[in-house]
């Protein structure tokens, strides 16, 4: 009687492509981090985007453009998009490397 069992490692679900994560991050603040699997970091970026947007709105003069008045929040928004892409790119590379090692 042969009781030999073949154990296989469970297949890991592939992460979202980094470009898709970047597109999602551009649509809503913090959503790119959520799509990349880092919800707390996304909430932190969204929080600081709203806080810095509110602070720059309060401290800038009224004759400044709307873009200038929200510049603090827009800066955090831009960094958030880049950071979500960086995390997604790292996850993608780690997944690709793990698949190459199995072959």
Q: Which two tokens stand for residue 15?
A: 């992460």
- The domains of the chain are located at 18-102
What is the Cα–Cα distance from 77 to 61, expressed in whole angstroms?
Answer: 22
Alpha helices in 37-70 (DSSP H): 39-59, 66-69
CA distances to 43, 64, 88, 90 from 38, in Å: 9, 35, 10, 12
Instruction: Note down pLDDT in tens along the chain; length 103 residues.
Output: 555 554 555 567 889 999 999 999 999 988 999 999 999 999 999 999 999 999 999 999 999 999 999 999 999 999 999 999 999 999 999 999 988 887 7
What is the Cα–Cα distance from 28 to 46, expressed in whole angstroms?
Answer: 9
What is the Cα–Cα distance from 103 to 71, expressed in whole angstroms?
Answer: 49
């Amino acid at each position: 009687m042969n009781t030999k069992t073949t154990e296989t490692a469970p297949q890991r679900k592939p992460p979202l492509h980094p470009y898709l994560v970047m597109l999602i991050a551009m649509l809503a603040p913090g959503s790119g981090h959520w799509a990349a699997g880092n919800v707390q970091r996304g909430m932190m970026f969204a929080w600081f985007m709203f806080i810095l947007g509110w602070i720059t709105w309060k401290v800038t003069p009224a004759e400044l453009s709307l873009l200038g008045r929200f510049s603090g929040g827009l800066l955090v928004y831009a960094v958030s998009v880049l950071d979500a892409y960086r995390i997604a790119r790292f996850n993608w590379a780690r997944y690709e490397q793990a698949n190459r090692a199995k072959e």
